[in-house]
């Protein structure tokens, strides 16, 4: 029986031509333009138009596991954690097979402009024995259909743009990070890879970012969608700051969520594997594929960079700190979402009791 196709429910609008041209001066990986999607105006490269409905209609399987995040929120860290827990800590297979093949990026084909993708495909044909980015850059719906079960899928799309039956059918692990740290990390990633591109100075990038003018933005709408579903039994909401502060506790929560038993010895072994000092040197997860495809800009940051909580302070001048404070308060006025790393002074007195989610940190799967 063939399932009926669901029309994509959101309007997709082209970003105004002059603004698109201005942004393409900085975001050099995009050569056609950009779109904004739905009432929240999620921002994507122009190619998203071609795949939006196909991605929305991907059939979901009960044994699927998705890791969903806004970019640079601990995605790779969580993918490796989830894959190893689900695969009984098979470190050998994890070492032998790069993470993008074990846990593919659903919409990477949207991010890579055809001009950049063409030489990757040509190289993959000329050198079939090599691992290639092109092998993982098929359209998302095609890629998902070709994956063997159980499928592990990474996406940076907000929940509203993923298949509507996702949470009622499959498991989703969502990770959120202080948006100031995410912005700094996303800036470095974009500067590092030719398929992205970013302004030369962070302040210019930041002023686009807070206006929702970078891939997958606006970040608060993205996170709030998942936060509002955090009590759903098939969604596990994790903060990046929890991974940094108490990795063994997160490993246990993920194991419980995925229905896998894990011993204390296994927790310690996995925590050591995922320890940031070890993780950043792990070539299976640190996107050696991008370097092999000549996509990395010489002298820029590695894919797995510093992993520092609060590192944004090294990049913000006084004006940006005040600007960020206003941005945070405006965007969180309608929600009880607060990040564990925030200090009591980050919010007005009436909100201080909610500044650090102590109860959230203590309860399984963050249920209050």
Give the pLDDT confidence of 122-152 residue by residue, as tens digits.
877 887 666 666 767 889 999 999 999 999 9
Sign of CA dihedral 135, 191, 19, 224: positive
Give residue 3's pLDDT band: very low, low, confident or very high (50, 70, 90). Answer: low
Determine what percent of the chain is predicted with pLDDT higher than 70. 82
pLDDT tens digit sequence for 178-194: 999 999 999 999 998 88
Residue 303 pLDDT greater than 60, yes or no: no
Which one has a higher pLDDT value, 170 or 361?
A: 170
**What SS3 class is residue 145?**
helix
3-state helix, strand, coil in the chain (%, to 5): 50, 10, 40
Residue-level pLDDT at 129: 63
Residue-level pLDDT at 293: 45
Query: What's the pTM value of the predicted model, to 2 decimals?
Result: 0.88
In this structure, of 16-30, 247-261, 346-360, the range with the lowest mean pLDDT score is: 346-360
Nearest to 78 by CA among 333, 356, 266, 307: 307
Residue 163 pLDDT greater than 80, yes or no: yes
Angle of CA points 1, 106, 5, to nearest 5°: 30
From residue 31, alpha-carbon distances to 43, 116, 195, 240 in Å are 15, 10, 10, 33
Structural domains for the chain = 55-366 (3.40.50.300)
Among 12-26, 131-145, 276-290, the range of highest mean pLDDT? 12-26
In the β-sheet with 235-239, what is the strand arrangement from edge to edge?
152-155, 65-69, 171-176, 235-239
Give residue 360's pLDDT band: very low, low, confident or very high (50, 70, 90). Answer: very low
Q: List the beta strands (DSSP E) in the chain.
A: 12-14, 34-37, 42-45, 65-69, 152-155, 171-176, 235-239
In this structure, of 44-53, 60-69, 241-250, 284-293, the range with the lowest mean pLDDT score is: 284-293
Residue 353 pLDDT greater than 50, yes or no: no
Residue-level pLDDT at 121: 81
């Amino acid at each position: 029986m063939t399932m009926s196709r669901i029309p994509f429910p959101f309007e997709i609008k082209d970003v105004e031509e002059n603004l698109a041209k201005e942004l393409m001066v900085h975001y050099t990986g995009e050569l056609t333009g950009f779109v904004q999607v739905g009432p929240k105006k999620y921002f994507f490269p122009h190619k998203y138009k071609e795949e939006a409905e196909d991605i929305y209609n991907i059939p979901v399987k009960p044994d699927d596991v998705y890791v969903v995040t806004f970019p640079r929120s601990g995605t790779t860290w969580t993918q490796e954690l989830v894959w190893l827990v689900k695969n009984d800590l098979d470190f050998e297979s994890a070492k032998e097979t790069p993470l993008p093949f074990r846990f593919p990026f659903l919409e990477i084909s949207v991010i890579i402009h055809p001009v950049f993708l063409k030489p990757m495909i040509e190289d993959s044909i000329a050198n079939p024995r090599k691992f290639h980015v092109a092998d993982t850059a098929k359209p998302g719906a095609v890629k998902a259909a070709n994956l063997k079960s159980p499928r592990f899928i990474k996406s940076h799309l907000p929940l509203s743009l993923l298949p509507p039956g996702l949470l009622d059918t499959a498991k989703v692990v969502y990770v959120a990070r202080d948006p100031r740290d995410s912005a700094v990390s996303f800036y470095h990633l974009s500067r590092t890879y030719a398929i992205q591109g970013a302004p030369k100075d962070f302040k210019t990038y930041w002023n686009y970012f807070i206006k929702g003018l970078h891939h997958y933005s606006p970040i608060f709408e993205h996170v709030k969608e998942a936060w509002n579903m955090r009590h759903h039994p098939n969604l596990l909401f994790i903060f990046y700051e929890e991974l940094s502060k108490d990795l063994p506790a997160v490993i246990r929560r993920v194991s419980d969520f995925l229905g896998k038993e894990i011993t204390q010895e296994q927790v310690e072994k996995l925590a050591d594997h995922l320890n940031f000092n070890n993780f950043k040197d792990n070539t299976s997860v640190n996107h050696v594929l991008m370097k092999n495809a000549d996509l990395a800009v010489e002298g820029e940051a590695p894919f797995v960079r510093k992993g520092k909580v609060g590192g944004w302070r090294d990049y913000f001048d006084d004006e940006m700190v005040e600007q960020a404070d206003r941005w945070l308060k405006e965007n969180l006025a309608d929600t009880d979402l607060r990040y564990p790393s925030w200090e009591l002074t980050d919010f007005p007195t009436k909100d201080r009791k909610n500044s650090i989610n102590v109860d959230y940190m203590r309860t399984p799967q963050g249920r209050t």
